[in-house]
């Protein structure tokens, strides 16, 4: 199946990209989970307890070519991203609209700003202008550390990059301006209490 971005670039699924050999993780906690998995479970927990209604946004895809090898099966052979997606999650909590992006990095000393796209910054800016809460959850996977950074703080680092400054946010800078969330069991990433500080 061939999928292309709106700008015409070819989408290469993760399974076709070169695989980097990872160091073995001898820790049994949270084995094989991604930040997205952890957030989806956390959001299900919040929904079940009636604390918030937050969902992962679907990726807008236009299906172009489908083959039917049998009556009961369909195989998508070609599809395109209809438009750039905005952020990963949105919903309602405590009467407020919330919208956030979730990013992971294996880097131990900084978060590369190339992991964020301009249209995501623009989207979060619009959310904040309309009194919504916009933020980013960053997972330093090698360190098993999680941080929540408000959009207003993220925008400062983005603007710094646009004016020729550093193209990443140092871990020390994140520690200074973001709020760290210590992972737990239920929910795994309890980020709602952090929003109360916003």
Residue 90 belongs to a domain = yes
Residue 92 belongs to a domain = yes
Q: What is the pTM of this model?
A: 0.72
Mean pLDDT confidence for 9-21:
60
Rounded distance between C-alpha atoms, residue 113 and residue 154, angstroms: 10
Q: What is the CATH number of the domain that holds 183?
A: 3.40.1350.10
Q: Which residues carry a binding-site annotation?
A: 86, 88, 101, 120
Q: Which of 59-63, 139-143, 184-188, 193-197 has the lowest mean pLDDT?
A: 59-63
pLDDT band at 108 (very low <50, low <70, confident <90, very high): very high
Residue 17 belongs to a domain = no
Mean pLDDT confidence for 130-148:
94
Q: What sections of 8-131 are H helices per DSSP? A: 35-49, 118-129
Residue 44 has pLDDT above 90, yes or no: yes
Residue 6 belongs to a domain = no
Q: Which domain holds residue 141?
A: 40-58+84-197
Total of domains in the chain: 1
Residue 101 has pLDDT above 90, yes or no: yes
Give me the pLDDT at residue 4, please.
Answer: 64
Q: What sections of the chain are H helices per DSSP? A: 35-49, 118-129, 151-162, 171-177, 192-197
Residue 181 belongs to a domain = yes
Q: Is 115 in a helix, a strand, or coil?
A: helix
Beta bridge partners of 110: 170
Give me the pLDDT at residue 29, please.
Answer: 42
User: Taking Cα atoms as reference points, which of 178, 164, 105, 94 lies closest to residue 136?
Assistant: 178
Q: Which residues carry a binding-site annotation for Mg(2+)?
A: 86, 88, 101, 120
- Whole-Å CA distances, 106 to 22, 32, 145, 154, 174: 10, 14, 11, 19, 15
Q: Which two tokens stand for residue 71?
A: 């009556």
Residue 135 belongs to a domain = yes
Q: What are phi and psi of 124, to 5 degrees?
A: -65, -35
Contact 171, 138 (CB under 8 A): no
Q: Is 8 in a helix, a strand, or coil?
A: coil
Residue 111 belongs to a domain = yes
- pLDDT per position as a tens digit, 63-75: 778 888 777 788 8
Half-sphere exposure of 137 (CA within 13 A, CB side): 28
Residue 23 belongs to a domain = no
Residue 17 has pLDDT above 70, yes or no: no
Q: What is the mean pLDDT of the chain?
A: 84
Rounded distance between C-alpha atoms, residue 60 and residue 9, angstroms: 16
Residue 86 has pLDDT above 90, yes or no: no
User: Taking Cα atoms as reference points, which of 56, 26, 53 lies closest to residue 40?
Assistant: 56
Residue with token string 């195989």: 75
Give me the pLDDT at residue 30, please.
Answer: 43
Mean pLDDT confidence for 106-132:
93
Rounded distance between C-alpha atoms, residue 90 and residue 49, angstroms: 18
Give me the pLDDT at residue 175, please.
Answer: 95
């Amino acid at each position: 199946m061939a999928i292309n971005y709106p700008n015409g670039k070819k989408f290469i699924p993760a399974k076709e990209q070169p695989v980097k050999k990872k160091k073995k993780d001898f820790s049994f906690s949270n084995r094989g989970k991604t930040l997205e998995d952890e957030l989806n479970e956390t959001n299900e927990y919040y929904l079940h307890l009636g604390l918030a209604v937050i969902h992962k946004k679907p990726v807008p895809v236009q299906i172009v070519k489908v083959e039917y090898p049998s009556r009961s099966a369909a195989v998508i052979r070609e599809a395109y991203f209809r438009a750039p997606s905005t952020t990963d999650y949105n919903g309602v909590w405590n009467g407020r609209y919330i919208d956030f992006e979730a990013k992971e990095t294996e880097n131990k000393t900084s978060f590369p700003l190339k992991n964020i796209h301009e249209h995501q910054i623009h989207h979060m800016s619009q959310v904040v202008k309309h009194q919504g809460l916009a933020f980013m959850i960053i997972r330093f996977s090698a360190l098993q550390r999680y941080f929540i950074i408000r959009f207003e703080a993220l925008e400062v680092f983005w603007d710094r990059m646009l004016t020729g400054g550093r193209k990443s946010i140092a871990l020390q800078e994140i520690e200074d301006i973001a709020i760290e969330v210590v992972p737990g069991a239920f929910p795994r990433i309890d980020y709602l209490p952090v929003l109360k500080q916003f």
